């Protein structure tokens, strides 16, 4: 039997990093989770045990901390680009770097140095850079929980011998949006872009009269592409957080869409992507 080494990469996952910027008594906080993953001339480390081509994962972690001190952390995409380019440019054996960063929000609670963790979505990005100078940036968010208490119908679907679902012309539509969007270029105002993409997603969710969550997903992705020229593709994952009308008849009560059981699982899972017809090739952006 002959065996060969397949695709591989290695790095430090989930380096938790908090950067405080002190502006007199007013402090600014960045709370991020950095994962770097490198690939390149890694045959020897797997096949012979020689580590000569390996930049240790410990060094990758230290680089994130040192760069946070030296360069600060503003937009996560810019920090990820800085790290990815550094790893590839400084080490001839490293041909490709992938850097993923999650950012947790903190809100000020008065005074200059007190914060409460934002209970809302997590901002994310994934950056790739290779030694040919090819670079990709995907921004995103996870767990943006939204609900419409009306303007949602679902009917006209296939009915077979196992179908029990009743058609509805008025239901709750709720989901926790995970969305990732690919930038056409690695040069962008990532802070502004994030805020506006997030707002477009919310506006489209709120403003779409929905005949299915699939239709809502498509409307949300389309709204982003229509309003944000720097974005060429949006991928979304939206669990259908079912709300079932509770039968109150045993208690002599009617229930005209007022009392619901918010089910936890199972849930429908709607996934899809929307992209410009002329979107540039994604290459490794989604890996
Ligand atoms: O928006 C929906 N899409 C579906 O595909 C589906 N299937 C289902 O049972 N309920 C729903 N709702």
Give the CATH number of the domain where residue 209 resides: 3.10.270.10
Query: Do 116 and 4 belong together in one domain?
Result: yes
pLDDT tens-digit readout, 155-200: 999 999 999 999 999 999 999 999 999 999 999 999 999 999 999 9
Q: Measure the CA angle with vertex 93, ends 90 and 96; round to 5°.
A: 80
Q: What is the pTM of this model?
A: 0.96
Query: Do 143 and 280 belong together in one domain?
Result: yes
Q: What share of the chain is helix, strand, coil (3-state, %, to 5)?
A: 25, 35, 40
Q: Domain residues for 261?
A: 134-287
Q: Is 212 in the pocket of ligand 1 (CB under 6 A)?
A: yes
Of 52, 53, 55, 42, the closest CA to residue 6 belongs to: 42
Query: Do 144 and 272 belong together in one domain?
Result: yes
Spatial contact of 146 and 165, defined as CB atoms under 8 Å apart: no
Q: Catalytic residue at 192?
A: no
Rounded average pLDDT over 264-274: 97
Average pLDDT of every residue of the chain? 97
pLDDT-derived band at 20, boundaries 50, 70, 90: very high
For the chain, percent of residues with pLDDT exceeding 90: 99
Q: Which atom of ligand 1 is nearest to the CA of 213?
A: 1
Total tally of structural domains belonging to the chain = 2
Q: Catalytic residue at 178?
A: no
The SS3 call for residue 75 is coil
The SS3 call for residue 152 is strand
**Residue 26 structure tokens:** 């007013």
CA 155–ligand 1 middle distance (angstroms):
9
Catalytic residue among 27, 28, 57, 93: 57
**Cα dihedral value 177, 183, 186, 188, nearest 10:** -80
Query: Do 127 and 144 belong together in one domain?
Result: no
Query: Do 274 and 146 belong together in one domain?
Result: yes
Query: Do 104 and 143 belong together in one domain?
Result: no
Query: Do 206 and 267 belong together in one domain?
Result: yes
Query: Do 91 and 222 belong together in one domain?
Result: no
Query: Do 211 and 113 belong together in one domain?
Result: no
The SS3 call for residue 279 is coil
Query: Do 216 and 184 belong together in one domain?
Result: yes
For residue 119, pLDDT beyond 90? no
Rounded average pLDDT over 213-225: 98
- Give the Å distances, CA to CA, from 40 to 37, 134, 253: 11, 15, 67
- The continuous run of DSSP H or E covering 40 comes out as strand 26-40
Q: Is 165 in the pocket of ligand 1 (CB under 6 A)?
A: yes
Q: Which residues are annotated as a binding site?
A: 57-58, 154, 171, 214, 240
CA 24–ligand 1 middle distance (angstroms):
53
Question: Which residue reads 């938790």 in tokens?
Answer: 16
Sign of CA dihedral 109, 78, 198, 268: negative
Q: Measure the CA angle with vertex 218, ends 213 and 224; round to 5°.
A: 125
Specify the pLDDT at position 110: 87
| Pick from 69-73, 117-121, 164-168, 272-276: least confident | 117-121
CA 213–ligand 1 middle distance (angstroms):
7
- Among the three residues 131, 157, 181, which one is the final residue of a domain in this structure? 131
Q: Is 154 in the pocket of ligand 1 (CB under 6 A)?
A: yes
- Among the three residues 115, 131, 147, which one is the final residue of a domain in this structure? 131
Tally the C-alpha atoms within 13 A of residue 223's C-alpha that lie toward its C-beta: 21
Q: What residues have CB less than 8 Å from 56, skipping those under 6 apart?
A: none
Closest CA to ligand 1's atom 4: 212
Specify the pLDDT at position 80: 99
**Residue among 147, 156, 157 whose CB has most ligand 1 atoms within 8 A, to mutate:** 157
Query: Do 172 and 35 belong together in one domain?
Result: no
Q: Is 94 in the pocket of ligand 1 (CB under 6 A)?
A: no
Count CB neighbours of 168 within 10 A.
13
For residue 98, pLDDT beyond 80? yes
Q: Which residues are annotated as a binding site for O2?
A: 57, 240
Specify the pLDDT at position 120: 82
Cα–Cα distance measured from residue 94 to residue 97, given in angstroms and rounded to the nearest whole number:
7
Q: Catalytic residue at 150?
A: no
Rounded average pLDDT over 24-35: 97
pLDDT tens-digit readout, 238-251: 999 999 999 999 99
Q: How many helices (H) and strands (E) does the chain have?
A: 5, 12
Query: Do 110 and 176 belong together in one domain?
Result: no
- Among the three residues 111, 131, 151, which one is the final residue of a domain in this structure? 131
Q: Which atom of ligand 1 is nearest to the CA of 215?
A: 1
């Amino acid at each position: 039997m002959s065996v060969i080494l397949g695709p591989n990469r290695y790095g430090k996952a989930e380096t938790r990093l908090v950067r405080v910027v002190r502006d007199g008594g007013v402090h600014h906080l960045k709370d991020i989770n950095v994962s770097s993953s490198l690939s390149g001339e890694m045959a020897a480390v797997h096949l012979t045990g020689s580590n000569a081509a390996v930049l240790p994962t410990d060094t990758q972690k230290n680089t994130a901390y040192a760069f946070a001190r030296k360069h600060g952390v503003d937009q996560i995409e810019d920090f990820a680009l800085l790290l990815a380019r550094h790893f590839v440019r400084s080490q001839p054996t490293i041909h490709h770097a992938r850097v993923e960063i999650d950012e947790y929000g903190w809100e000020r609670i008065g005074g200059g140095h007190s914060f409460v963790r934002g209970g809302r979505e997590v901002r994310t990005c994934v950056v790739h850079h290779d030694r040919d100078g090819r670079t990709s940036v995907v921004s995103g968010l996870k767990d943006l929980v939204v609900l419409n208490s009306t303007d949602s119908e679902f009917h006209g679907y296939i009915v077979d011998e196992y179908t029990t679902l009743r058609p509805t012309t008025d239901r709750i539509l709720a989901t926790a949006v995970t969305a990732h969007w690919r930038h056409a270029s690695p040069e962008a105002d990532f802070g502004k872009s994030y805020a506006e993409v997030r707002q477009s997603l919310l506006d489209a969710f709120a403003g779409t009269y929905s005949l299915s969550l699939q239709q809502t997903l498509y409307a949300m992705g389309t709204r982003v592409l229509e309003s944000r020229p720097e974005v060429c593709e949006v991928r979304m994952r939206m669990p259908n957080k079912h709300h079932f009308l509770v039968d109150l008849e045993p208690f002599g009560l009617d229930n005209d869409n007022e009392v619901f059981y918010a089910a936890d699982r199972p849930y429908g899972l709607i996934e899809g992507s929307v992209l410009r017809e002329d979107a540039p090739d994604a290459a490794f952006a989604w890996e």
